[in-house]
Chain A
Amino acid sequence: MAIDAPARARRRPAGWANALFVLPYLIVFVAMIVVPLAMGMWLSTTKSDLFGVEAQVGFANFTRLARDPIFLETVWNTFYFVLLTVPALTLIGLGLALVLNRPARWASVLRTIFFVSTVLSVTVVTLVWQLVFTPDGGLIAVAAEALGGSPVAFLNDQDLAMPAIAVTTIWWCIGLPMVLFLAALQQVPRDLYEAARLDNASRWKTLTRITLPSIRRTFLLVVIIEIILQFQLFGQPQLMTRGGPNNATRPIVLFIYETGWRQWELGYAAAAAQVLFAMILIAAMAQYFVASRKDDR
């Protein structure tokens, strides 16, 4: 139509102008995310070291991983660690947020205290917790001796080392879930609580029927963020146990690091990295789909 033609002509340059606004981010996104991801995938199909690619090996690295007992143990260790930390971080973060979501001064002081551990570096955190866990005059050892017990070498015990690293991680990372939950709680309209009071709802009913359903999206967000973060466990075992004792605390990222940078098997390490990427993706997507299906009901 005659009227449409000039309108379309006006719209077209505007479309390009819009794309220009996206371009800076797009360049960074492609250069920093898409290209490295593609390179990693390509590298995982090669036999290569730090000097270059020796040969294309197809999926040989992946079949080798499937038969590598150490790698399989690191997969289990990583899952075990995620199971230890993610529910605890989510529930403790939620609990702290519920307790500290009030305008009192003591609450704001405690909010700051609980968040402050998050800003520390992994080096400081692991140093502090090594001092807590060490059997030679460590905090727990001293307390145990005072109560008549004997000191336990947490970080040297095959069964206790991973829980000890999990405790360290929870202490270090609790600030983020707490702050996310606090932000969500403050978004819940106050008049919903007032309506609940007029509806004779007990505290428990108010929590389970009003508060938790109102912040379920944040709950999901926290779980996904924490799954992604905790699957990437590296610094704590590297500094506290070096993956020991007997590989009990060796996670996938440490395996990737050692394979790639100690043993110079870059292709094999890249394949392990792809497995980790797939695990995180599947876990996050599964969580997302389960929660969004519940949402639709």
Chain B
Amino acid sequence: MRHACALRSVDDPLHVNYSDKNTNREDRLATVELTNISKCFGRTAVIDGLSMSLNPNEFMVFLGPSGCGKSTLLRMIAGLETVDSGEIRIGGRRVDHLPPGERGVAMVFQHYALYPHMTIRDNMAFGLRNVGVARDEIAARVAAAARSLEIEHLLERRPGQLSGGQRQRAAIARAIVKQPQVFLFDEPLSNLDASLRVRTRVELAGLHQRLGTTMIFVTHDQVEAMTLADRIVVLNDCRIEQVGTPMDIYLRPATSFVAGFVGSPRINLLPVRIEAAAEGLARATLPDGTLVQTAVPTAALPQGDTTVGLRAEHVRIASEGAAARGTARVVERLGERTLVHVELKGGAMLVAEDAGLSTVRAGDEVGLSIDGARAHLFDAAGRGHHAAG
């Protein structure tokens, strides 16, 4: 986990506000605990008995496909959705019965939600005026946040006069001036074009380091999740599939869903036959008969249908010593690497990786070398089994 105190620069314009007696540094190091949270819309359960906790200063990303309940969960923490059962605590204080404004959270919305008839300055000051913050204090906080996000020249403009990226900065600045215990981001980058998204992503990471506040970020974009998060919560079908650091999620996916959702290109998932080999490690037979010696202990592997998970970077195009052979059907040249969609004997498809300057063309016969030690196995229930260690 990152520690913002050490990383924050001394001349951080927001630094001055941390000494404020009402919003001291300790207040802002808040934990978030969700205990047995449930939520139904009519008869449809959207969140079902979910529990998790966030450490102070943690950047947590809720990742999952559309309709998995991640935005609802965020909105429940914000107080914009009621909680049917369970408890939400922020900084140890139970908040699930409090109105949104009293929870100590600030939210950045997907569509910015800036008040269109107010200037950016008024947008930022509105929340502070409502809780009776002194005029000088408001001016100081607005100025500091605007300087931090480089929007000082936009303060007298209205949202309609700003570009998408500028609006996003204004929305983040509006959240910052509140000095909340927890920042909530609801897919804030999804409306930005590709290059601006990358830039804003980097800035958000920097912002988290500077502010050192707990942040929760909802996205369906795995790249955003991997690059920003201290920990990722992968949600699917109203349940948590896995909670872990980005590399945990990538290297040791708890379920076949996580393995398939995280990583680009998508992990190769093929049905296999399993037999025990030397030293109690599983040996998998691919549909075309290729043998893959994995590092997964057979002892923990239940009987029944099993699927092997092979990431493209562990299946390489090889001219010599190939473990398997197949026909290249599609070749995707990405510059630094080439992805080759290979059809194995029997029709199974496998995505393999080759060098950026690969000479493989669609229709070529190619050999594949498979790094079995990096293979994952998933049992019939979809649970992941990985190499020991």
Binding site for B on A (CB under 8 A): 189, 191-192, 194-202, 205, 209-210, 213-214, 216
Complex contact A195–B115 (CB within 8 A): yes
Q: Kindly state whether residue B67 has any CB partner on chain A within 8 Å.
A: no
Smallest CB gap from A200: residue in B: B101
Complex contact A214–B130 (CB within 8 A): no
Return chain B residues, CB-CB under 8 Å to A191. Answer: 109-111, 113
CB distance from A205 to the nearest CB of B (A): 6
User: Once bound together, how far apart are the Cα atoms of A214 and B126, in whole Å?
Assistant: 16
Return chain B residues, CB-CB under 8 Å to A213. Answer: 115, 117-118
CB distance from B219 to the nearest CB of A (A): 17
Smallest CB gap from B126: residue in A: A199
Q: Kindly state whether residue B100 has any CB partner on chain A within 8 Å.
A: yes
CB distance from A77 to the nearest CB of B (A): 38
Return chain A residues, CB-CB under 8 Å to B107. Answer: 194-195, 198
13 new A-B contacts at CB < 8 Å, known A197-B100, A201-B126: A189-B113, A191-B113, A194-B78, A195-B115, A197-B99, A198-B100, A198-B106, A198-B107, A200-B101, A200-B131, A201-B130, A209-B126, A213-B117
CB distance from B256 to the nearest CB of A (A): 35
Q: Kindly state whether residue B309 has any CB partner on chain A within 8 Å.
A: no
Complex contact A192–B115 (CB within 8 A): yes
User: Once bound together, how far apart are the Cα atoms of A200 and B107, in whole Å?
Assistant: 13
Return chain B residues, CB-CB under 8 Å to A216. Answer: 117
Question: Which residue of B79, B113, B117, B130 contacts A202 across the interface (Cβ within 8 Å)?
Answer: B130
User: Once bound together, how far apart are the Cα atoms of A195 and B131, in whole Å?
Assistant: 14
Q: A202-B130, A214-B116, A214-B117 are in contact. Are A197 and B111 (CB under 8 A)?
A: no
Smallest CB gap from A201: residue in B: B130
CB distance from B23 to the nearest CB of A (A): 15
Which residue, A189, A194, A198, A209, has most C-beta atoms of chain B within 10 A? Answer: A198
Smallest CB gap from A198: residue in B: B100
Q: Kindly state whether residue B80 has any CB partner on chain A within 8 Å.
A: yes
Q: Kindly state whether residue B127 has any CB partner on chain A within 8 Å.
A: yes
Q: Kindly state whether residue B102 has any CB partner on chain A within 8 Å.
A: yes
Which residue, B111, B118, B126, has most C-beta atoms of chain A within 10 A? Answer: B126
Q: Kindly state whether residue B176 has any CB partner on chain A within 8 Å.
A: no
Smallest CB gap from A190: residue in B: B113
Q: Provide a sorted-by-A list of 30 A–B residue pairs whose CB atoms are within 8 angstroms.
A: A189-B111, A189-B113, A191-B111, A192-B113, A192-B115, A192-B116, A194-B100, A194-B107, A194-B113, A195-B107, A195-B114, A195-B115, A196-B115, A196-B126, A198-B78, A198-B79, A198-B105, A198-B106, A198-B107, A199-B126, A199-B130, A201-B101, A201-B126, A201-B127, A202-B130, A205-B130, A209-B118, A213-B117, A214-B117, A216-B117
Question: Which residue of A198, A209, A210 contacts B101 across the interface (Cβ within 8 Å)?
Answer: A198
Q: A210-B115, A213-B117 are in contact. Are A195 and B109 (CB under 8 A)?
A: yes
Interface residues of B in 101-155 (CB under 8 A from A): 101-102, 105-107, 109-111, 113-118, 126-127, 130-131
Smallest CB gap from A194: residue in B: B80
Return chain A residues, CB-CB under 8 Å to B118. Answer: 209, 213
Question: Which residue of B109, B116, B117, B127 contacts A199 across the interface (Cβ within 8 Å)?
Answer: B127
Complex contact B127–A198 (CB within 8 A): yes
Return chain A residues, CB-CB under 8 Å to B80. Answer: 194, 197-198
Which residue, B78, B80, B114, B118, has most C-beta atoms of chain A within 10 A? Answer: B80
Return chain A residues, CB-CB under 8 Å to B114. Answer: 195
User: Once bound together, how far apart are the Cα atoms of A292 and B100, in whole Å?
Assistant: 35
Interface residues of B in 307-344 (CB under 8 A from A): none
Smallest CB gap from B110: residue in A: A191
Return chain B residues, CB-CB under 8 Å to A196. Answer: 115, 126
Smallest CB gap from B102: residue in A: A200
Complex contact A197–B109 (CB within 8 A): no
